[in-house]
Structure 1
């Protein structure tokens, strides 16, 4: 890929990727404060400013690498927002809402990018039409990928937190102990292509559903 093409690609993908990753984390902080934990707020992490959440490798370098190698799905991460679940008003119950806030925001953003793509198809064609369409496609894809990946029921992913919240106490405590191994389990799932037959087909289905919803197919 030529240098000029790389720069063009990065300029198109940068905004949707950074927003998807950083606003996901900001949503956790907002939800935690709403349910009684001010930890993220006191640390200055409840902010829509992406710079407060950017982590060099997970937010920038990894998504860029995946995009440049034509990976069918993009994902990454930001600096985790600090949440002290013990300070929530109802720790076990409220954990569900704090964990679900990130994926929920990703779904909203995916719908927002789809709506913008629809607008792009309705206005007269101009020099920005094609780049904007590509940006919207990246926005839909990265947000759905992050939402689906984070909803895997594996601590410390959001899906794991949700599972801990829903399970009875005895099972929740034992399940939460998986957190120390969660990252390695996720790597194993990726290495053995488990996500290729579970998560990524779901992402493709969701994307087609959203495109159909906005009559973009």
Structure 2
């Protein structure tokens, strides 16, 4: 594997297909819930769509392949348009990560179905794809709920903070991407993001597997 890639070359096609689906559904879910709460900003900008081309950020995709994490184009949300603004804001933020959790559940469900009816053999293209599909969607689910800017978890956290705390955080938000890259790309991640992944992802995965009566694969 080239040293600059986070995945073996033979895995790249599976990763790219998974990301096209996962990122598209994630951002579409944000737009759909925003519209349900009265904000048509994303819809008016053509983001209430299942067309991957309107959501994919090429640099964000490359970062997934190189660093193991990445992003799509953020869905525009005008939180002042939302009905029940705090509830609407929280649900809009949750919609993306929850969509990835649901995709992971669907992936495990398909794995269980195919395994039960012997639709694939171990190590086949279908099995490999489903394993990567489930893994990456779980990563996106957990990753996006981490409460650091500009992730969805941060926006959820902010909604529960008093106004005085929000005001103090505004200067920090200006450097959100820099803070994010430092936390994600430096050894700091070993003490922040990685422990969360190592603890939460296996826990959630085991719960999903138990739903379908599967053991870890």
TM-score by length of structure 1 reads 0.84
Q: 1:43 to 1:159 in 2, by over 3 A?
A: same
CA contact (8 A) 1:30 1:46 kept: yes
Q: 2:84 matched to which residue of 1?
A: 90
SS at match of 2:129: helix
CA contact (8 A) 2:31 2:47 kept: yes
> Moved runs in structure 1, 4+ residues, more than 4 A?
125-129
Q: How many angstroms apart in 1 are the aligned matches of 2:66 and 2:87?
A: 38
Q: After TM superposition, list the pairs within 5 Å mapping 1:177-192 onto structure 2.
A: 177-190=171-184, 191=186, 192=188
Q: 2:147 matched to which residue of 1?
A: 153
SS at match of 1:136: helix
Q: 1:207 matched to which residue of 2?
A: 205
CA contact (8 A) 1:76 1:146 kept: no
Q: How many angstroms apart in 1 are the aligned matches of 2:132 and 2:210?
A: 17
The runs of 5 or more residues in structure 1 that have no matched partner are 67-73
CA contact (8 A) 2:114 2:120 kept: no
Q: 1:25 to 1:125 in 2, by over 3 A?
A: closer
SS at match of 1:118: helix
SS at match of 1:198: helix
Q: 2:5 matched to which residue of 1?
A: none
Q: How many angstroms apart in 2 are the aligned matches of 1:78 and 1:103?
A: 13
1:87 is displaced (CA, Å) by 1.5
The runs of 5 or more residues in structure 2 that have no matched partner are 3-7
Q: Answer 1 or 2: higher relative contact order, Cα 8 Å, separation at least 6.
A: 1
Q: 1:204 to 1:128 in 2, by over 3 A?
A: closer
CA contact (8 A) 1:99 1:162 kept: yes
1:4-57 CA distances to partner (integer Å, 9 max, x unpaired)?
x83x53333322221112211111111111111111100111011212111112
1:159 is displaced (CA, Å) by 0.7
TM-score by length of structure 2 reads 0.84
Q: After TM superposition, list the pairs within 5 Å mapping 1:1-217 onto structure 2.
A: 1=1, 6=9, 8-59=10-61, 61-66=62-67, 74-126=68-120, 130-190=124-184, 191=186, 192=188, 193-194=190-191, 195-214=193-212, 215-217=214-216
Q: How many angstroms apart in 2 are the aligned matches of 1:125 and 1:152?
A: 37
Q: 1:176 to 1:155 in 2, by over 3 A?
A: farther
1:81-132 CA distances to partner (integer Å, 9 max, x unpaired)?
1111111123333211111110110110010111011112112355797211
The CA RMSD over aligned residues, in Å, is 2.3
Q: How many angstroms apart in 1 are the aligned matches of 2:154 and 2:162?
A: 14
The number of residue pairs the alignment matches comes to 206
Q: 1:126 to 1:101 in 2, by over 3 A?
A: closer
